[in-house]
Amino acid sequence: EIVLTQSPGTLSLSPGERATLSCRASQSVSSSYLAWYQQKPGQAPRLLIYGASSRATGIPDRFSGSGSGTDFTLTISRLEPEDFAVYYCQQYGSSPGFGGGTKVEIK
């Protein structure tokens, strides 16, 4: 079973700043089967990134994903007010699993 560890647990930033979120896997994630989701309070998760770096339909280009193997990153280039939320990474392929999440909060 692949365990995903996200860091930091909480990121306090101001609108307009750059956010860098990390997701580390306990073993290599095959074929970059890594996705990122955004979840706002009271809402279901929303797919942002799949295949480690491909943006889902309708996702603004300020969101980007990178990485391979065991280390992955979600970057939000300039935070908009609507981007303050919790972000989860997920590995898929065999037994899907999620990281513990990173909360991006307003500083």
Partner 1 sequence: EVQLVESGGGLVQPGRSLRLSCAASGFTFDDYAMHWVRQAPGKGLEWVSGISWNSGSIGYADSVKGRFTISRDNAKNSLYLQMNSLRAEDTALYYCAKDLGYGGNEVWEYFDYWGQGTLVTVSS
Q: Kindly list the residues in this chain that would bind partner 1 in the complex (CB under 8 A).
A: 1, 33, 35, 37, 39, 43-47, 50, 56, 88, 90, 92-101
Q: Between residues 69 and 100, which has the closer beta carbon with respect to partner 1?
A: 100
User: How buried is 24 (Cβ within 10 angstroms: 0-12 exposed, 13-18 middle, 19+ buried)?
Assistant: middle
Q: Between residues 13 and 47, which has the closer beta carbon with respect to partner 1?
A: 47
Provide the minimum distance between the beta carbon of 51 and partner 1 in the complex, in angstroms, as a whole number. Answer: 8
Q: Between residues 18 and 94, which has the closer beta carbon with respect to partner 1?
A: 94
Question: Residue 35: CB partners within 8 Å, gap ≥ 6?
Answer: 47, 48, 49, 50, 51, 89, 90, 91, 92
Q: Position 80: which residue type?
A: E
Provide the minimum distance between the beta carbon of 3 and partner 1 in the complex, in angstroms, as a whole number. Answer: 13
- Quick one: DSSP state of residue 57? T
Provide the minimum distance between the beta carbon of 16 and partner 1 in the complex, in angstroms, as a whole number. Answer: 28
